Amino acid sequence: MYTQAMDIPDAATKPAGVSRTPDAQDAAFEARIDADGRIEPQDWMPEAYRKTLVRQISQHAHSEIVGMLPEGNWISRAPSLKRKAILIAKVQDEGGHGLYLYSAAETLGTSRDQMLDALHSGKAKYSSIFNYPTLSWADVGVIGWLVDGAAIMNQIPLCRCSYGPYARAMVRVCKEESFHQRQGYEALLVMMKGSDAQKAMVQDAVNRWWWKCLAMFGPPDADSPHSAQGQRWGIKRISNDELRQKFVDATVPQAEVLGVTLPDPDLKWNEDRQHYDYGQIDWAEFWATVEGDGPCNRERLATRVKAHRDGQWVRDAALAHARKQQERTNKEAA
Ligand code: BYC
């Protein structure tokens, strides 16, 4: 899909037979970025740009794969066949997103094995949000509404990321995330028309997930080591704080329609700013979770490592099949 073999060099790559000096390569890259152009796998790029993308795209891929676990827990306990079918489709989509993203990261010269080793050894990060438990069926609806809602807010600007394969993968991912968000919100709307116990279950889930979703956007801009350079390179288009604010502004009216309270006494419309003000996020708790000490970090990682080990026979069988096919082709060609 991302093969470079047939690509014709263009403005930012060296013309055939002409070797560019490092300064000229750098200038061509910067000019392309300044012109809001796309960088493709065959283009020269600074090592720091490549590393930043490998870090972000692989963390994003890990988040999609680990993100299958909290909701996957509920597939066998979904309250109806309809909800079960929707949930299976959603969790399967997340798996697909992980695979596109691993493929996009591979175009930067890293291997799937290297990325998975980093995840399984605890070196690589994945989104903090997936280290919290899903305690009731309402959590599945709230993950769709708030977690996928936050994910879309963060990911729409990534469709314009300067790195082509990542930007293109994000277009499809965002379309699917939009379905995920709607199915979650619709499931909650149905519950909020139900019994008092169902309404209480939704409110409890909102109370537990709200603050974690705000933290998902990453540290405040002033404490975000990668933001300035990420924005300079056109990888990040909108800052962590700006996206968080957009998410709050979009979600408050949705909560009103749903009939739930967002658990923040400081949440109020600010006429001067034309935005909602909101309270303090617990950053100590966020960092503890990111560093491996959240309620489910160990369980999530252990589940992924076991799944990978249990899948070894599938990888072995696929390789044996590919070898056999190759031998047959070679024999026929001989
Ligand atoms: N959790 O300088 P910063 C989904 C780390 S999956 C953990 O702001 P950056 C879904 C950050 O990595 C959603 N770590 O960094 C799936 C960095 O650490 P390192 C996943 C976090 O990269 C299933 C350090 O903090 N989405 O949609 O400029 C079901 C400093 O941060 C978090 C993506 O991955 C966090 N929340 O900005 C449902 C989107 N936040 O690497 C839904 C792509 C920050 O130096 N990624 N850190 O060790 C991004 O947009 C950016 O990487 C971030 C962080 C906004 C997340």
Instruction: Give the pLDDT confidence of 273-321 residue by residue, as tens digits.
Output: 999 999 999 999 999 999 999 999 999 999 999 999 999 999 999 999 9
Indicate if ligand 1 lies below 6 Å from the C-beta of 308. Answer: no
Q: Given a cut of 50, is residue 2 above it in pLDDT?
A: no
Instruction: Give the pLDDT confidence of 135-186 residue by residue, as tens digits.
Output: 999 999 999 999 999 999 999 999 999 999 999 999 999 999 999 999 999 9
Indicate if ligand 1 lies below 6 Å from the C-beta of 236. Answer: yes
> Measured in angstroms, how far is the CA atom of residue 302 from the centroid of ligand 1?
21
> Measured in angstroms, how far is the CA atom of residue 111 from the centroid of ligand 1?
21
| Phi-psi region at 249: left, alpha or beta (left = phi > 0; alpha = psi -120 to 50) | alpha
> Measured in angstroms, how far is the CA atom of residue 78 from the centroid of ligand 1?
29
Predicted pLDDT at 19: 63
Residues 260 and 223: their CA atoms lie apart, in Å, by 32
Contact (CB, 8 A) for 124 and 118: yes
Q: Given a cut of 90, is residue 13 above it in pLDDT?
A: no
Mean pLDDT across the chain = 94
- Give, in order, the Cα–Cα distances in Å from 95 to each of 50, 65, 219, 312: 24, 6, 26, 18
pLDDT > 90: percent of the chain = 93
Ligand 1 atom nearest the C-alpha of 70 is 29
Indicate if ligand 1 lies below 6 Å from the C-beta of 216. Answer: yes
- Give the mean pLDDT of 189-209: 98
Taking alpha carbons only, the member of 190, 184, 192 closest to residue 209 is 184
Q: Given a cut of 50, is residue 4 above it in pLDDT?
A: no
Enter the pTM of the model. Answer: 0.92
Read off the pLDDT band of 14 (50, 70, 90): very low
- Give the mean pLDDT of 252-259: 98
